[in-house]
C-alpha cells in the first residue's frame, strides 16, 4: 500500500519526467507563433490626431499574446510602472521576443499608462 509520502514522490517524479516534454512543446509553439505576422492594423502608423492608445490593443495582442495568455499580462497592467515594464521588456527580448525598438517603446507606454486600447484588449 502506498503511503501519502510515496504518492507525493510519485507525482513529483511524474511531473519532472513530463516537464521537458511540455517545455519542448512550448518552445515549438513559441517559435511557430513568432513566425506569425503582426496584424496590419498594428503596423499602420496612427494619424497625428489619432491617440496612441487605439494602436495599443492590436500591438498587445500581436506581441505579448504570441507567448503569453493575455490575462497574465493584463493582471500586471495596473501594478507596474514604466520602469517596471522596461525591465520586463528587456527580459522578454533577451528570451527571444521579436519586437522592434519602436514597438517596444510604444508597448511600454501603452502598458504603463493602461490606456483604452490595453483595457479593451484585456476585456476580450
Cα 58 to Cα 118: distance, rounded to the nearest angstrom: 9
The mean per-residue pLDDT over the stretch 100-120 comes to: 89
Higher pLDDT, 78 or 86: 86
pLDDT of residue 33: 53
pLDDT value at 71 more than 70: yes
Block residue for cell numbers 498587445: 60
Amino acid at each position: 500500500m502506498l503511503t501519502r509520502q510515496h504518492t507525493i514522490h510519485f507525482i513529483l517524479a511524474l511531473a519532472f519526467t513530463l516537464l521537458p516534454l511540455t517545455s519542448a512543446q512550448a518552445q515549438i509553439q513559441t517559435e511557430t507563433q513568432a513566425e506569425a505576422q503582426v496584424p496590419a492594423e498594428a503596423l499602420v502608423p496612427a494619424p497625428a490626431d489619432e491617440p496612441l492608445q487605439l494602436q495599443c490593443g492590436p500591438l498587445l495582442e500581436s506581441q505579448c499574446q504570441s507567448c503569453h495568455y493575455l490575462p497574465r499580462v493584463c493582471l500586471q497592467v495596473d501594478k507596474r510602472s514604466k520602469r517596471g515594464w522596461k525591465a520586463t521588456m528587456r527580459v522578454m527580448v533577451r528570451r527571444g521576443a521579436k519586437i522592434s525598438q519602436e514597438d517596444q517603446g510604444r508597448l511600454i507606454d501603452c502598458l504603463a499608462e493602461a490606456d483604452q486600447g490595453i483595457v479593451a484588449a484585456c476585456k476580450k
